[in-house]
Structure 1
Amino acid sequence: MQDTVAELEESRQRYADLYDFAPVGYVTSDEKGCISEVNLAGAALLGMERSQMIGMPMSVFVDKGNVKLIFNHLHSCKQSGETVVTELKLSSKNAKVVYAQFITMIVPGVGSDVTQYRTIITNITGIRNAETEIACLQGTEKALLASEERLKYYASELVSTNSELKAFADIVAHDLRTPMVNLKGFSRELGYSLINLKDIMCEIVLQLPENSQKKVKELMESEMPEALKFIETSVDRMSRMVDSLLKLAHLGRRKMIYNMVDIGELVANIICSFHHQIEMHSIHMDIRPLPQIKTDQMAIEQIFSNLLDNAIKYLDTDRQGEIRLSCTHEGDEYLFSVEDNGCGITANDLGKMFESLRRVGKQDVPGDGMGLAYVRVLVKQLGGKIWCESEPGVGTKIFFTIHNGPLQTEEHRGL
């Protein structure tokens, strides 16, 4: 008999230890919600010595704005007879905000009357803070996407006059570059905060229910790092876009310097710079006689360089590549053409190919979508026009006109 009593006492003591030293709070309350029993974790979480808590209503320990929620929580448990889960903000004597998850079930007494509630209280402040950080990161992502759309809008509004291009460059440099620097800096700070948050959460996570542990792990190890990586790559991409647009604006403002240029010799030098690509892909180059004209050498060199680079990149790998350069003229206006037998461009994309930040055709070809936009601006600076003819699977012809010497009209003077 004594052995049985001793075993029962030992078992009771083990239960008491498990109850008192559990990592989550256990609270037993009567039908009115007044506390009749609480373990050490519950007392610590609710912020009072447990001997002083006996007989106090549970509503005392939640934030004033959540008092109605705790009453509804207990009432719902009583009415349904089922376990009820509610997230509540606890009251705090300091400025620290604590969020807790209340899981309550009823303990039926004699008959059908409810005599007790049993509540498990878990500190979920870490999870709520992590969710707030995720929301912040997602908001930053949206801001990045909005900025990128605004950047494309600015590009589409690019105009040819010096004053408008200068204003555009100022907008890009100030309104977009400054926020990007801030975004990169704050995302780096969020990265450091995430590392610190992981260290803080290591011990707290082990005290949470299994499903909450899984959720925290997913937030800390997957969603938040992915969001930060998205911000980093988006800022880098936007930075390159801004640099390209500033270069475009600079090209539009640069004063043309006219000298006699041997176009044949200039094109031969450009082809030499592409020698490796031409040899590697066995490209046949057909260069017809090209003239000497009075023009800006730097501009015309970049025009041909970009057009040849584009033609080489978009050749069809299923057949031998062919590129042809030719020129005709009428008076002082020269018409150049760059023709290839590459992949070609659809009719829907033809009108977009000279736009800033636009890429048409194959998307696996490296580039920033600015090469033909540079060409368009430079051709216009030289008083010419540019257009394209293309057929998918057949090839592309790009035509542009250049005047021999500067045009002295109001439209082009000072460009």
Structure 2
Amino acid sequence: MAQAAAMAHIADLAEYVATSPSSYHAAASAAKRLDAAGFTALDESSEWHLAAGSYYVVRDGAVIAWVQPETVSATSGFHILGAHTDSPGFKLKPKPTTGSNGWWQAGVEVYGGPLLNSWLDRELVLAGRLVLRDGSVHLTQTDPLLRIPQLAIHLDRQVNEGLTLDRQTHTNPVFGAGDLAEADILGELATAAGVDSSQIAGYDILTAPAQRGEVFGHGKNFFASSRLDNLSSVHAGLIALIDYARNPHGRHIAMLAAFDHEELGSESRSGAAGPFLEELVFRIQASFNASTDQTARALSNSVCLSADAGHAVHPNYPERHDPANRPQVNAGPLLKINANQRYATDAIGAAAFAGWCEAAGVPYQEFVSNNRVPCGSTIGPLTATRIGIRTVDVGIPLLSMHSAREMCGVDDPWYLAGVSKEFFGA
């Protein structure tokens, strides 16, 4: 039964990733699921009249959804699962149609910190949003259109001794051949969106691998897909929140906060370092006519589960990991710990997470970096700093993080959804 449930979860995760080739699509796909579950969409520019119920707001490529039970008050606090919708890759530049020597190419800029070599020789789509002269916004996604071709070994005999890619000259994908005057990458995007390309006034367009997620390996125990960092967490939180909304019984407001631009440092209006979460928390508190004192008490009663993918021990590079803490796939989500607060977990948060996992029947494992290999960071420390609430950093273990195609165990995303459900209802 557990294996069947995990496989069903993975199949649904694969579908969510397939419908979310950009952060804007990830927010829209989440909104579609929330609509189907009876959540009410709110417009930030309108006046809100909140009562007990389920709500969500989309801001660009971010979405925040919450369930407000009948039993909560101005001092009840929030249980927030934080995640992010963006992933490393390439973003379309201004004047994006380029090319040379009979090839049509797309001018792209590196977005975040991708493993560049993993994007070579792979069919890619373009996806994101187009803004027309009338101010209307249209999501768009092409069919498989692009490829970054690698130089043949016959022309670089030393390539297997170390591949070096120049970000400007070696990463421009091809999308056609012939007379360059006939090439028009924005025309391709306009056709996919069903709009007039002459009306495009702005765009945020990124690459995404065309290949769908796939279960593989002995016993079908592994899952490979693009954008597992961090749609695996967004999806787990979304599934858990929708499930919780069917029977909201907790003593707090349950919330999913899926931010954009984490891979760039989160400093944007839709990023975790921006005001989005704080503004929504204060608008919700206003619906209770909460005083400053009551809001401070609510925040002191709040906790954030910062869910972002982490590292499984790599069998070919075991020396890059801590010798005592060696996370495995299919052994449960990671509790991420760092002495320098690159992760926000403290002892109280760690104990709370252990309790939620035990109540949910979910195993978990601790992650800490090798002292010679500094770790990255997450939205956790940003949320703890900006809002002042206790934060616990967690996430599923991956191999090939920031690759165009990452890998996890089949069970771990399901485990993360399970403990997230317990967290929302605790």
- Which of the pair has more CA radius of gyration? 1
The structure with the greater share of residues assigned to strand is 2
TM over 0.5: no
Question: What is the TM-score when the length of structure 1 is the normalising length?
Answer: 0.23
Q: 1 or 2 for the larger relative contact order (CA 8 Å, sep ≥6)?
A: 2
The structure with the greater share of residues assigned to helix is 1
Question: What is the TM-score when the length of structure 2 is the normalising length?
Answer: 0.22
